[in-house]
């Protein structure tokens, strides 16, 4: 159960915007990633992601904890993307075909942009840097953070796999994050919202 | 603080401690910075990340003009 998310949602429902800001920081990349499966234009992905968070915030009182917050937000993101695609289809149904005057060939309407190569390159560089940082970690720290972040295991499950006490799991995961953040800070810093406080 | 934050992110801080933790650190700069970095690292590890470049700030700024609406259901038009 995502107790932290639930805690932040409850605080948002009681009027604490700081709590929702943390949920935005946590989930905006994941929601943008989901939306980018439907919409390829980075600009439109950003607009629709913003719309999804606006809708989630406006309607936060309808979230009653029957599902995980991440699932609820994911559905809102997919819904926003589908609504956008439906609107595009309507727009295209009203589209008057145009033809090249010289060749008399139909000019195809452009619905989606291609993915931004610069953003793809940055994403690839980030992934490579994380991969290299993982390799430089002590083996037990690398295993702990990998089991948590990639395999999604709980601390008690990791303790069983690594045959160590729960407290050791806590410190290994925390230490791994701390080391990776410190070593990658120059690379991650441009992505940090310095004013988002 | 960092170990507690790490546990808070992973839903491993027990509820009463989690509530106090947020209240104690909600305005703390390091808390906010590390909240961002730790989640960003995890997203990249899972291959679920896109570059951020100020995106979350733009969403947060947009939300400054939005009010919670008790009658609004964001999933009312879901397929």
Domain ranges, ordered by start, for chain B? 2-63
Selected from 3.20.20.70, 3.30.300.180, 1.10.287.990, 1.10.1740.10, the CATH number assigned to the domain covering A3-93 reads: 1.10.1740.10
Give B17-61 pLDDT, tens digit per residue.
Answer: 767 788 788 788 888 888 988 998 898 888 776 666 678 889 999
CA angle at A125 for the pair A178 and A30, rounded to the nearest 5°: 70
DSSP A66: S
Cβ–Cβ < 8 Å for A35, A82: no
Could you please state the CATH topology (level 3) that the domain comprising A117-191 is classified under. Answer: Arc Repressor Mutant, subunit A (1.10.10)
* Candidates B18, B53, B78; nearest CB to A7: B18
Distance from CA of B30 to the nearest CA of A (A): 10
Domain ranges, ordered by start, for chain A? 3-93, 117-191
Task: Give residue A127's pLDDT.
Answer: 82
Cβ–Cβ < 8 Å for A123, A148: no
Give A116-155 pLDDT, tens digit per residue.
Answer: 677 677 777 888 888 888 989 999 999 999 999 999 999 9
Q: Check the CA dihedral A84-A86-A90-A93 and report its sign.
A: positive
Contact flag A193-B52 (C-beta cutoff 8 Å): yes
Judged by DSSP in three states, A37 sits in: coil
Task: Give residue A51's pLDDT.
Answer: 95
Share of chain B above pLDDT 70, in %: 85
Residue B6 in contact with partner chain A when CB distance is under 8 A: yes
| Residue predicted with more confidence, B14 or A6 | A6
How far apart CA B43 and CA A72 sit, in angstroms, is 19
ipTM computed for the complex: 0.86
How far apart CA A146 and CA A137 sit, in angstroms, is 11
Give A57-74 pLDDT, tens digit per residue.
Answer: 999 999 998 889 999 999
């Amino acid at each position: 159960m995502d107790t932290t998310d639930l805690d932040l949602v409850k605080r948002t429902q009681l009027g604490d915007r700081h709590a929702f800001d943390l949920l935005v920081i946590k989930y905006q990349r994941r929601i943008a990633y989901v939306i980018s499966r439907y919409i390829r234009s980075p600009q439109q992905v950003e607009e629709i992601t913003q719309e999804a968070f606006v809708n989630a915030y406006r309607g936060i009182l309808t979230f009653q904890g029957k599902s995980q917050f991440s699932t609820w937000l994911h559905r809102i993101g997919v819904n926003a993307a589908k609504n956008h695609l439906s609107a595009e289809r309507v727009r295209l149904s009203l589209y008057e075909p145009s033809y090249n005057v010289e060749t008399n060939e139909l000019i195809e309407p452009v619905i989606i942009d291609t993915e931004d190569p610069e953003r793809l390159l940055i994403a690839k560089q980030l992934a490579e840097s994380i991969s290299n940082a993982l390799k430089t970690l002590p083996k037990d720290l690398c295993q702990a953070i990998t089991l948590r972040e990639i395999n999604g295991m709980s601390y008690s499950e990791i303790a069983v796999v690594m045959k160590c006490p729960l407290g050791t799991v806590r410190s290994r995961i925390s230490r791994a994050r701390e080391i990776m953040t410190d070593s990658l800070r120059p690379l991650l810093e441009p992505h940090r919202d310095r004013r988002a406080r | 603080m960092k170990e507690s934050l790490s546990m808070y992110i992973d839903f491993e801080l027990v509820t009463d401690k989690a509530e106090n933790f947020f209240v104690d650190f909600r305005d703390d700069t390091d808390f906010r910075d590390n909240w961002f970095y730790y989640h960003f690292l995890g997203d990249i590890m899972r291959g679920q990340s896109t570059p951020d470049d100020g995106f979350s700030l733009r969403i947060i700024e947009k939300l400054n003009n939005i009010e919670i609406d008790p009658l609004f259901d964001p999933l009312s038009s879901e397929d």
